[in-house]
Structure 1
Amino acid sequence: MVMRGITWRAMALFAVSLCLALGACSNSSVGSYHGPVQCAPYARQVSAIKLRGRAADWWWEARGHYPRSHKPVVGSVLVFKASSRIPDGHVSVVRRIRTQRQIEVDHANWVGGRIERHALVEDVSVRGDWSHVRVWWAPSGRMGRRVYATYGFILPMR
């Protein structure tokens, strides 16, 4: 697929090159990379959370290895539950806390295999526990209409 004269592969290779230049990736993590950037490998590369497997499984894989919470912390990873819209779940890295109910995240493959930085995520849960969120939808330039269920946040080790 081509977007404004740039292929997805070229964009992905640029993203990996930028990641390497900023020191956020290791050379070994890039060796077998092909195709769009996926959320789990991206989150692993740019956070202190070093889990593997399906994004939705990270919540359970973190048990006993990383602290988990229902409150965001900068550097934590928000884990989305699997659903018909996101069958493998999704993970996003918290970069900024705006308010009790709004954070900014960096994540990959929310829209077409791209890396998005400082995407707004809003807690819409009844209890304010981040169990249900809405996510910024870049193609429309506004918050997405869909509500996604999440497990919570995996915190980096202190």
Structure 2
Amino acid sequence: MKKVSVVVAALLSLSAQAFFAPALARPLQCVPYARAQSGIGIHGNAATWWDQAEGTYKRGSSPEAGAVLVFKSTAAMPYGHVAMIREVVDARHVLLDHANWSRPGLVERSALAEDVSEAGDWSNVRVWYGPSRALGSRQNPTFGFIYNGSPHETATLATAQDDGSPNKAG
């Protein structure tokens, strides 16, 4: 009888631990982080964002604060990567906010990224890598930037600003 009560007590203890123990959180990935920070409502692997954005969001090769830089799939990053532009420093440098780059689940804010493409079109970048405390040595190919705003909204805004009529506010 004592053996049964020991087993029952052990089972009760294990079930209590399972019930009351906090769930192990999965590391934060770049996609949900970039989506939450930028407001760009795209889902799926980071490398699919560029094609998914076509016709829904404006895309381009110039960095803007709030835009998302989309990295291509590579052997080192089979699912690609996405990072939001926090600030444009100059023509070849931006500060990124992103997750899951320097280590699983880590959110990095104001991480430096450098355009190392020959054409200056942000098609290849180096990104700050925390463990080395420097820009990473690896060059990372990118598709470009997705801007928060539909192509229709952007075209309407450009037309409204450049319609030749006098500025009514001033």
Q: Bin the TM-score by the shorter chain.
A: 0.7 to 0.9
Q: CA deviation at 1:142?
A: 0.6
2:129 and 2:100 map into 1 onto residues whose CA distance is 12
- TM-score where L is the length of structure 1: 0.78
Matched, 1:76 2:71: no
Q: Residue 136 in 1 paired to residue 128 in 2?
A: yes
Count of equivalent residues: 127
Greater fraction of residues in strand: 1
Aligned-residue sequence identity (percent) comes to: 48
Which residue does 2:38 correspond to in 1? 47
- Deviation of 1:34 after TM superposition, in Å, equals 3.1
Give, in whole Å, the separation in 2 of the partners of 1:82 and 1:116. 21
In 1, Cα distance between the equivalents of 2:48 and 2:148?
A: 17
Across the aligned residues of Structure 1 and Structure 2, the Cα RMSD in angstroms comes to 1.4
What amino acid sits opposite 1:114 in the alignment? L
Normalization by structure 2: what TM-score?
Answer: 0.73
Query: In the alignment, which residue of structure 2 is the partner of 1:13?
Result: none
Distance in 2 between the 1:111 and 1:136 partners?
A: 8
Aligned pair partner of 2:148 in 137, 140, 156? 156
Q: 5 Å matches for 1:1-158?
A: 34-112=25-103, 113-157=105-149
The equivalent of 2:13 in structure 1 is: none
Q: Which has the greater radius of gyration?
A: 2
Structure 1 counterpart of 2:134, one-letter code = R
Please tell me the residue identity of whatever aligns with 1:148.
N
Partner of 2:49, secondary structure, is helix
Match of 1:18 in 2: none
Query: Structure 2: which 5+ runs fail to align?
Result: 1-23, 155-170
| Paired residue secondary structure (1:60) | helix
Offset from partner CA, 1:116-146 (integer Å, 9 cap, x none): 0000000000000000000001111111000
Q: Which structure is higher in helix share? A: 2
